[in-house]
Amino acid sequence: MTEKSSETKPADKPKTDEKKFLVRKIESSKAMNDAMGAYFSELFEAAKTGHPKIAWCTSVGPAELLVACGFLVYFPENHGAMLGASRMSTDLIPVANAIGYSPEICSYLTSDIGSFIKGETPMSKMPGYVFPKPDVLVFNTNQCRDVQDWMYYYHLHYGVPLLGINTPVRIKEVTRTHVEVAAKQMEEMVEPLCKIGGQRFDYDKLRDIVTLSKQLTIKWKAVLEAAAAIPSPINFFDGTIHMGPAVVMRGSKRGIEYYDTLLKELNDCILKKIGSIPEEKFRLYWEGMPIWGRLRTHSELLASLKACVVASTYCNSWIFDEFNPDDPFRSMARAYTELFIVRSDEYKEQYFQQMIEKYKIDGIIYHDAKTCPNNSNNRYGLPQRLEKKTGVPYIVIAGDLNDLRCYSEEQAKTNIEAFVEQLSER
């Protein structure tokens, strides 16, 4: 079911122009592909030679600590997104279902485990591919419990150590106690990580890595804030692809250099008033996970309706303002506990209000992702409360991040078109 905030007349006709709307192609894409290619090459080389060791980490796990302890870091969720975007998930999810992983749980998890069992991955098309087996598995439950169970599967398979941080969730204010609890768990990881990695812990190295991550996050934030310009030079669908370095290159210089290139391009567009779409009439917010197998469809559909998705919770989730090299453990703990996904609905409403203001949002699309309740914020009355406070209308699209069986193309298209029609009447 797809719902919308107020009735749209049945006679309303979608205002999709017949001519082909082209979304501006990000020129820095090649530089990003090169940076991502270099990241994977390093991983494959390490998998071949056994050096350096490889840590698997959940996307908002303590990556800086792992890099400081000498590991290369591989992110199974990044692989999950690749499986969704390549639409391989559809065949892989049932494979994981068949061994007891429910179709109701995270479809990144089921796609990834299905891919592992079948031995099919988009990485195999990359030069020098060797599967990057883990030497250690590290999770943080700040985002959900699924990541713990996901890593547990590989722990059972490979017999390598499984380390984790358990973070309190649904917090309104992050207190010192919350931070101390997470920081202590990170500190306790140092000894086992050093043992597995065969290295001595170097506190100064950790400070340097946190410094690099801070620089990376500041650049990524600037990329997202470029979308506050009218017209916006970048849209959410581009953002989901160009956030790759912000996720996997924490603690390295490569991602920082890439975002310098991208920022130069975006600032140039802002100066010349070149938008991501040819004619930006409506500015939208995307709340929730992307539907990876439909990024281009959604991008082109919205461009044809003169609607640009200029901001999202998803892309903003990789801004870690709190990193501080002078206090690495506590600042990492705070950064990874202050995440949007960890917070209460009361906090989230305030956050959305700020985003609406900052990005001049006309309407919100909530994606109700079937297998990710953690990133679906439409289920406890939040959209209705927010619309009442701000007057900004919304629509809810039912779908999923990877499992396209939960998504109806026709229904989503009809409802998005009716929603934009409703915006134009306002």
Q: How far is the CB of 255 from ligand SF4 (least distance, A)?
A: 21
Q: How far is the CB of 109 from ligand SF4 (least distance, A)?
A: 6
Helix, strand and coil percent figures for the chain, each rounded to 5: 55, 10, 35
Q: Which residue lies nearer to ligand SF4 by CB, 168 or 278?
A: 168
Helix (H, G, I), strand (E, B) or coil at 325: coil
Give the chain's length. 426
Q: How far is the CB of 422 from ligand SF4 (least distance, A)?
A: 29
Q: Which residue lies nearer to ligand SF4 by CB, 81 or 174?
A: 81
Q: Which residue lies nearer to ligand SF4 by CB, 68 or 81?
A: 81
Q: Is the dihedral of CA 27, 31, 34, 40 positive or negative?
A: negative
Q: How many Cα atoms occupy the beta-carbon half-sphere of 366 within 13 Å? A: 28
- Lateral strand order in the sheet of 54-57: 72-74, 54-57, 136-140, 162-165
Q: How far is the CB of 64 from ligand SF4 (least distance, A)?
A: 20
Chain residues binding ligand SF4 by CB under 6 A are 77, 106, 108, 143-144, 146-147, 289, 372, 374-375, 401
Q: Which residue lies nearer to ligand SF4 by CB, 73 or 210?
A: 73
**Which stretches does DSSP call E strand in 378-424?**
394-399
Tell me the one-letter amino acid at 284: L
CA proximity to 382, closest of 105, 5, 2, 106: 5
Q: How far is the CB of 390 from ligand SF4 (least distance, A)?
A: 26
Q: Which residue lies nearer to ligand SF4 by CB, 374 or 422?
A: 374
Q: How far is the CB of 278 from ligand SF4 (least distance, A)?
A: 33
Q: Which residue lies nearer to ligand SF4 by CB, 341 or 420?
A: 341
Taking a C-beta distance cutoff of 8 angstroms, is the pair 291, 399 a contact? yes
Q: How far is the CB of 395 from ligand SF4 (least distance, A)?
A: 21
**Cβ burial 1-10 (10 Å sphere, 16+ → b, else e):** ebebbeebee
Q: Which residue lies nearer to ligand SF4 by CB, 146 or 338?
A: 146
How far is it, in rounded angstroms, from Cα 235 to Cα 305?
14
Q: Which residue lies nearer to ligand SF4 by CB, 146 or 403?
A: 146
Read out DSSP for 345-388?
A: HHHHHHHHHHHHHHHT-SEEEEEEETT-GGG-TTTTSHHHHHHH
CA proximity to 364, closest of 422, 407, 321: 422
Q: How far is the CB of 77 from ligand SF4 (least distance, A)?
A: 6
